[in-house]
Amino acid sequence: MAYSKKEEFPDQDLRLAEIAKALSHPARIKILRILNQMNSCMVGGLVEQLPISQSTVSQHLTELRKAGLIIGEIDGPKVCYCINKEQLTKTKKAFDRLFSGIGCC
Amino acid sequence: MAYSKKEEFPDQDLRLAEIAKALSHPARIKILRILNQMNSCMVGGLVEQLPISQSTVSQHLTELRKAGLIIGEIDGPKVCYCINKEQLTKTKKAFDRLFSGIGCC
DNA sequence: TCCTTATATCGTATATTTACGATATACAAT
DNA sequence: ATTGTATATCGTAAATATACGATATAAGGA
């Protein structure tokens, strides 16, 4: 088949869908919760608290980073991840706009 | 590989991830917007306003229905879809809880 | 320099999603 | 009864996501 019609939808809807996709796996939601709870965390600390392998955790972190929801700072041989609060605030507002734009009280 | 670790995550995170997944395609977000704008709409009306085929629209509607975000009422040979405002309100609250539980202001 | 540690990336297998056309179903109207 | 209309479902192909182990990379310490 000819593929991915996603680009044919309004930009606003596409961007919101992308953020929703970043939130569409329980591991990624859990990661956000852990990062908030601990303020920041090394990858190893996350791996310890998740039932998935290091390489899979790394993949999920990459997706959260691409969506702008987290930031990773290199700290020697380690990488320290934390939540991107600014982007998260924007995301919350985008969802709020969607819900109110959809007649949600 | 052995598959889907999703069940190994907290129920709350899993349910929120499922709703996020329902919102993770621009066609489904557009459908919600159209349904709100028109109050309710037959499938044919949606197909006219979307750049995808009837069968694909039907698949997206099934996913939104499974997530509880829309309701379809049979009306003769047609089906009339509308937003499930009750569920949408719950969804909004679930996202709000996530965001505040994540340190979002 | 060599070893250890931490993380990312590669290669790969399987599952799921997205998309379409074709077909089935369900009802209304003739 | 037959025809037409609306929608869902089936079959299928391609794309993407999920998961892992193995390997590469990068930095610190011996």
pLDDT in tens, A12-67: 999 999 999 999 999 999 999 999 999 999 999 999 999 999 999 999 999 999 99
CA A46 to CA A30: how far, in whole Å?
9
Cα distances (angstroms) measured from residue A105 to each of A17, A80, A101, B91: 21, 38, 10, 11
- Measured from the Cβ of residue B10, the count of other Cβ atoms closer than 10 Å reads 12
> Cβ of residue B105 near strand D, that is under 7 Å?
no
List the beta strands (DSSP E) in chain B: 41-42, 70-75, 78-83
Residue A16 to chain B, least CA–CA distance (Å): 8
In a domain, A86, yes or no: yes
Question: Which CATH number fits the domain that encloses residue B23?
Answer: 1.10.10.10
Cα distances (angstroms) measured from residue B56 to each of A49, B30, B37, B51: 39, 14, 21, 10
pLDDT at B32: 97
> Cβ of residue B58 near strand D, that is under 7 Å?
yes
Q: What is the pLDDT of residues A72-103, one digit of tens each?
A: 999 888 999 999 999 999 999 999 999 887 76
In a domain, B2, yes or no: no
> Residue A4 carries which side chain, given as an amino acid letter?
S
Which nucleotide's C1' atom has the smallest distance to the CA of B26?
A: C18
For chain B, what is the domain count? 1
Q: Quick check: A30 and B10 CB within 8 A? A: yes
Domain residues for A59?
Answer: 11-98
Helix H, strand E, coil C: the string for A26-45 is HHHHHHHHHHHHHCCEEHHH
